[in-house]
Amino acid sequence: MYLAGHPLYAMFSKFSAFTLLLLTFGHALLMGQTVPLSSVSSSTFPANGPADKHLVVEVLEGASVHVDADVVIEQGHVAMRDGRIVSVGAGPYVGSAGEPVVRHDASGQHVYPGLVDVFSDLGMAKAKRASWDGKPHYEREDSQAALGWNGALHSEFEAAAVFEPGAKRTEALRKAGFGAVLTHRRDGIDRGTGAWVTLADDAHRAVIAPRAARAHSFSKGSSRQQYPSSLMGSIALLRQTYHDAQWYAQFDRPLERNISLEAFNARAGLPTIFETSGWQDVLRADRLCDEFGVQSVFYDRGDAYQRLDEVAATGGALIVSLKFPEALDVSDPYLARLVSLKELKHWELAPYNPGRVAARGIEMALTMHGHDAAKSFWKALRKAVACGLSERDALAALTTVPAAMAGAEDRLGRLAVGLEANVLVASGPLFDEKTKLRANWVQGTEHVLQAEPEFEVAGHYSLNLGGRDLMLRVKQKKEGHPKAEWWPAEEPALSDSALKAELSIAGRDVVLQIHIEGEGVFRLNGNIYKNSRIWEGRGEAPDGTWLDWAALRQPKPRPKGPEQARPDSLEGAQATATNVEAAPELGAVTYPFGAYGTTLESAPLVESLHIQGATVWTCGPEGKILGGDVIMHGGRIVAVGTAMEPVLDPEMVFGKYGLNVQGVNLQVLNGAGLHVTPGIIDEHTHIAATRGINESGQASSAEVEIGSVLNSEDVNIYRHLAGGVTAGQVLHGSANPIGGQSGVIKFRWGADPEGLKIKDAAPFIKFALGENVKQSNWGDHQTVRFPQTRMGVEQVFYDHFHRASEYGQAWSDYERAVASTTRRNRRLGHLPIRPRIDLELACLLEILRSERFVTCHSYRQDEINMLMHVADSMGFRMNTFTHILEGYKVADKMREHGVGGSSFSDWWAYKFEVKDAIPYNGALLWQNGVVTAFNSDDREMARRLNQEAAKAVKYGGVPEQEALKFVTLNPAILLHLDHRIGSLEPGKDADLVIWNDNPLSIYAQAQQTFVDGRRLFDIERDLELRATMRAERARLIQKMLDDPAESKPPPRERRGPHYHCDTVNDQI
């Protein structure tokens, strides 16, 4: 009954009659592992009409049978019954005696397993998003059920339960050759479970594995809840969810029922698919999963080739996008400036991504995700194959690999007995340009994609039109109806007077219209007979009379010289084009990928360098040395002094390290007229981070880490190096009293995000006070979140610190209880309940234990004073007040407390709370014995921090050497890194800058900037890089102009967000 009106009936093909028959008689049999015939009663659906028993075996015979990417059986067969494969082998199918068999001649065809896409959201209704009312929502409002607290978590969601195949998308996938997909709903951070479904039209048959995989992402999706408002918030939320689930699993009768966590635990063993947006995200996702012993499969947007080694090191398989960037319209030279070198390079290299990923040995599946239509998918796929992806790898990436990624290797991806009868029939080898996909069998049901043409109609015909003799020439076109021309028979062939005739053919039914000048249009209908040689029928003349007509195909005209030559030369031209394609000029992958990146080969090495006779501002006990020398080796400074001193004898210097000076390739740099300083350190920066610098969704977000969202590709890193800046603290913003954990990094241009981090740096966290945290300047709607006053801010701190302290107590109680558990109870599993790991409180507890240090955004003296009191009473010391523009009013109190100040040199007048800010602040703090630094909080000014230090000389008369320490040694002290950086002393890191003038002068330009002994900026090399970039850009623009794409979208703006403390909104 349920087949009545089934869309399958509407399918037309040469096999349609058989199919119809089969379906009618065979369908009621339901699936069994070994296709038993005894399943008469195995459908729950009542039959309307005769039962469908699925008795007939359907066989494709005589084909090249591609069992999988490695094995081909020539002249083989594939036999299917009741939706499963029952036999695969060489020669014809030999069934059991008396078995009903329908044999399909597939000779000359290539037969493949139906393709498999492991990354799909087929049949998932889009998650509904509440309309935005402009107000912040701190609580979950989308559901009142016993679900988890955050609307971005959908652990309880099951794709199988809501899957509804939609005809259009199902058909598009089938057309592309797919037989099955793993579908999940792409909404939220935890997306619940996905299901394997075939592309059958009926969901009951299609869902073959309802709980096949879980899916994660960093995108909050449809949730309107404030939290998370940043990528780092998403990461923290997912981590916390893993911890919560582990904790929750201990309870038989939980106090607080949480269906989401129960579902999360129930699906814990399933494969995990993690949607990412680029290789940096892959690394982030992998770090997250590693913490919980989970190895995810990553969806790669298509840029893994930019960091293959790092991506390979995750050990995760990749689902690789075939959505390649389009060529843009770069015809307007002004507008073309909007297209970055990075975009241009990516446009060129993205099609090589699949090939390079596979060649690197990374397990790879390909996906149609990103393509709506089969045509664009196949175009991209063939492009990837043309760009180095082997056909074997391509086929594996579309069959066995995706199937195995989510445990469907015994159901999908191969042609083998017992697997779903998903069989793709192609006219030739799958990846050949000319191959057509003929039919896609899904669970034993044939879907005709493009029928083999039954006959050819091209040729010359003599046309008798009611007694009149005409000539007709018919040309087959690639698509659509053939083209026809006619001319009077008495004229020579291909007469100049040939006129267009309208021809349309449907099956063997033909309609022909011939317009004869002076008479009108003859409208003819007829049939095509005898393998298309004879057409005949009746028609209506322009005057309304009816007539007979017939056309007879003539033998092929003798080949003519020039006519014949043309196609040849065309092919020749194509062949040449292909050859050019085979060895294209390709840009190199640079690190970072884009502006000012360098190839691995030309990456700066650690230098052994002896700088001689320079003015050395050590910022250490040696002070400023005129005519000083610095020797660095192995990434460290090994000697500092004057040439006269024996400590600077290279033999001695290297002897100390057991090195022979001849062996170290020590280069000498004449420092006459040059100044050498330690690398500049920015205590407060927001560059090199991505997708949100503030997690503003809560008053405390101690659980989020800037370190988890570092962006090593930010060109500002290079610009900073050009200003002599070598290290910085990437801080959370100031949207809430308790912000997030800092990323303390060196500006190691070319490294990956982890490579930026200073490994043993002390952990830090950002706090904030004043107008930002009480949301004074956020607009009229933002009046809900606690705190809205400075009074409330204090209580946020006390509340959280008390909770953190109690949290610590709970854990030590637990540990004591575990220790005192008897062996017997332990054996019986009678253990005390483990407290929940709370990432937020754990972080705050570290502060209370002086294992983590606080940098606090602050302006007014009252709140500075307040926070020092909070710290005193909670038993820790504030480490740094940043901005601290009224620090000068409480400098003595700050000294007493032992807190440092990292200030702006001269900012004020931007908020009410800075109306008493003065540029003498730095000097007064310093004069009062407070460790004082100047910071940027601004990507532009950060490049000139040496000049900001000079303002401490100008405003308040700080001596020059001390002023320079404001941006070198003092921030190093504030960051607890002064044992490694901040001054030029033997044993410290070789982070130094060579200037052409007094470093405090506006005329000083960094000539060379070293980080760990690597020359990451060099004013000469900078010019070379510019020239290289210009040439590469010019080449790519020309190439893009040559791209044959029909329509090219306009260029795109690519200025990234510029983060300050109070940047609240960014896309996640």
Site for other proteins in 84-143 (CB under 8 A): none
Nearer to other proteins (CB atom), residue 211 or residue 951: 951
Closest to other proteins by CB, 500 or 915: 915
Residues 135, 475, 560, 1052: which binds other proteins (CB under 8 A)? 1052
Going 974 to 977 to 981 to 986, the CA torsion angle's sign is: positive
Tell which one of 872, 892, 1024, 1043 touches other proteins (CB under 8 A): 892
With contacts defined by CB under 8 A, name the span among 72-80, 532-540, 541-549, 885-893 that binds other proteins. Answer: 885-893
Out of 670, 777, 812, 1038, name the contact with other proteins by CB under 8 A.
Answer: 777
What six digits make up the tokens of 787? 């705190």
- The CB-of-51 to other proteins minimum distance in angstroms stands at 51
- The three-state (H, E, C) secondary structure of 585-608, written as one string: CCCCCCECCCCCCECCCCCCCECC
Distance CA 761, CA 775 (A): 32
Q: Which CB, 179 or 919, lies closer to other proteins?
A: 919
Work out whether 256 is an interface residue with other proteins (CB under 8 A): no
Smallest separation, CB 55 to other proteins (Å): 51
Instruction: Using the minimum distance from each CB to other proteins, give the nearer residue, 169 or 911.
Output: 911
- Shortest reach from residue 944's CB to other proteins, in Å: 7
User: Among 15-23, 172-180, 785-793, 903-911, which window interacts with other proteins (CB under 8 A)?
Assistant: 903-911
- Amino acid at site 962: E
- Rounded CA gap, 857 and 767, in Å? 6
Residue 476 per-residue DSSP state: -
Q: Of the listed pieces 91-99, 188-196, 469-477, 1047-1055, which binds other proteins according to CB under 8 A?
A: 1047-1055
> Which amino acid is located at 458 in the chain?
A
Q: Which is nearer to other proteins, 251 or 910 (CB)?
A: 910
Three-state SS at 724:
coil
Q: How many residues bind other proteins (CB under 8 A)?
A: 73
Count of CB atoms situated within 10 Å of the CB of 998: 17
State in angstroms the smallest separation of the CB of 71 from other proteins. 41
Q: Does 1046 bind other proteins (CB under 8 A)?
A: no
Among 233, 604, 740, 956, interactor with other proteins by CB under 8 A? 956
Q: Kindly state whether residue 1055 participates in binding other proteins, applying the rule CB under 8 A.
A: yes
Nearest residue (CB) to other proteins, 27 versus 342:
342
Do the Cβ atoms of 935 and 905 come closer than 8 Å?
A: no
On the 0-12 / 13-18 / 19+ scale of CB atoms within 10 A, 640 is buried
**Residue closer to other proteins, measured from CB, 139 or 940:** 940
Q: Which of 417, 498, 1029, 1037: binder of other proteins (CB under 8 A)?
A: 1029
Q: Could you tell me which of 690, 688, 705 has the C-alpha nearest to residue 237? A: 705
Nearest-approach distance from CB 269 to other proteins, in angstroms? 34
Distance CA 766, CA 515 (A): 83
Name the token pair of 657.
């390290």
Among positions 919-948, residues that touch other proteins (CB under 8 A) are 919-920, 924, 927-929, 938-941, 944, 947
Could you tell me if 316 and 292 are in contact, meaning their C-beta atoms sit under 8 angstroms apart?
no
According to DSSP, residue 532 is labeled: G
Among 816, 910, 959, 1043, interactor with other proteins by CB under 8 A: 910
Contacts of 116 (CB under 8 A, 6+ apart): 178, 179, 180, 181, 365, 398, 399, 402, 403, 408, 412, 413
List binders of other proteins among 556-615 (CB under 8 A).
Answer: 594-596
Which of 167, 506, 644, 909 binds other proteins (CB under 8 A)? It is: 909
- DSSP letter for each residue of 692-708: -S--TTSSB-TT-BGGG
Contact 845, 806 (CB under 8 A): no
Which positions from 972 to 1011 touch other proteins by CB under 8 A, shown as an x/- string?
A: --------------------------x-xxxxxx------
Tokens 């809840």 belong to residue: 225
Nearest-approach distance from CB 993 to other proteins, in angstroms: 15
Spatial distance between the Cα atoms of 1051 and 922, rounded to a whole number of angstroms: 46
1049 is a site residue for other proteins (CB under 8 A): yes
What is the DSSP track for 392-421?
HHHHHHTTHHHHHHTT-TTTSSS--TTSB-
- In angstroms, the CA 522 to CA 465 distance is 9
User: Which of 73, 83, 82 has the alpha carbon at shortest distance from 106?
Assistant: 73
Task: Determine if 265 is a binding residue for other proteins (CB under 8 A).
Answer: no
Least Å distance between CB 1041 and other proteins?
Answer: 18
Among 435, 495, 513, 776, the residue binding other proteins under the rule CB under 8 A is 776
Return the number of the residue (882 or 905) whose C-beta is nearest other proteins: 905
DSSP state of 618: -
Q: Which residues of 954-971 are buried (b: 16+ CB within 10 A; e: fewer)?
A: ebbebebebbbbbbbbbb
**Closest distance to other proteins from the beta carbon of 296 (Å):** 22
- CA 444 to chain centroid, in Å, comes to 36
Q: Are 180 and 114 in contact (CB under 8 A)?
A: yes
Residues 702-741 that bind other proteins (CB under 8 A): 715-716, 718-719, 722
Position 15 contacts other proteins (CB under 8 A):
no
Q: Is 911 in the site for other proteins (CB under 8 A)?
A: yes
What residues numbered 307-336 form the site for other proteins, per CB under 8 A?
334-335
d(CA 1017, CA 603): 11
Pairing of strands 57-66, 110-113: parallel
Q: How far is the CB of 827 from other proteins (least distance, A)?
A: 55
Instruction: Considering the complex, state which of residue 702 and residue 924 has its C-beta at the smaller distance from other proteins.
Output: 924
Q: Which among 39-47, 253-261, 675-683, 904-912 is the span making contact with other proteins, rule CB under 8 A?
A: 904-912
Task: Please report whether residue 782 would count as binding other proteins according to CB under 8 A.
Answer: no
Q: Determine, following the binding rule CB under 8 A, whether residue 475 of this chain makes contact with other proteins.
A: no
Beta bridge partners of 64: 110
Provide, rounded to whole angstroms, the least separation between the CB of residue 1052 and other proteins.
5
Residues forming beta bridges with residue 425, ordered by sequence position: 111, 439
